[in-house]
């Protein structure tokens, strides 16, 4: 899976590769990053499939090719899957932006959502409200 150009970093200068599961299927994901030097990279996109990573994390690539978080940004990452595209999904971008977060859409039903830790409880409460009114599932990916 290749990420679209991320809105968080204007000119990310490296693409990392990581793997995660979508159900039972192992998916390889390309992640935009910025080179920090000395083998470190800063994630400049929202992972759709990798658990334990978030926007702004500093990561290294292990000798076996896996990614390792060496410094957490502290940001929170969520994944929201709508059972069908619906009007409420259009409001997610502005709501998350108002909380100081970012969204990246995989398609019309699947979105990765970032937020600062200070807004996590508010975001989770809002996602639970949406879940009661709209056919969707969400999870924390940190």
DSSP-assigned letter for residue 1:
-
Topology of the domain comprising 76-140 = Alpha-Beta Plaits (3.30.70)
Give 53's contacts (C-beta < 8 A, 6+ positions apart).
Answer: 18, 43, 47, 59, 67, 69, 77, 141
Residue 27: both structure tokens together: 């998916």
pTM of the model: 0.86
Structural domain boundaries of the chain? Answer: 14-71, 76-140
pLDDT at 54: 95
State the DSSP string of 9-54. Answer: SSS--EEEEEEEEETTEEEEEEEEEEEEETTEEEE-S--SS-SS--
Q: Note the pLDDT tens digit of each residue in 107-125.
A: 888 999 999 999 999 999 9
**How much of the chain exceeds pLDDT 70, in percent?**
89
**Given a cut of 70, is residue 131 above it in pLDDT?**
yes
Q: Note the pLDDT tens digit of each residue in 3-28.
A: 455 555 567 788 899 887 777 888 88
Measured CA to CA, the distance from residue 126 to residue 123 in angstroms comes to 5
């Amino acid at each position: 899976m290749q990420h679209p150009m991320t809105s968080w970093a204007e000119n990310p200068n490296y693409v990392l590769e990581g793997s995660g599961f979508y159900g039972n299927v192992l998916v390889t994901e390309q992640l935009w990053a910025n080179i920090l030097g000395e083998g470190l990279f800063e994630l400049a996109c929202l992972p759709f499939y990798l658990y334990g990573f978030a926007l702004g994390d500093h990561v290294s690539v292990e000798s076996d090719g896996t990614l390792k978080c060496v410094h957490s940004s502290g940001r929170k990452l969520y994944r929201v899957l709508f059972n069908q595209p619906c009007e409420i999904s259009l409001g997610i971008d502005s709501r998350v932006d108002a909380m100081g977060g970012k969204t990246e859409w995989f398609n019309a039903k699947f979105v990765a959502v970032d937020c600062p830790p200070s807004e996590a409880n508010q975001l989770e409460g809002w996602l639970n409200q949406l879940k009661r009114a709209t056919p969707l599932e969400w999870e924390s990916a940190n």
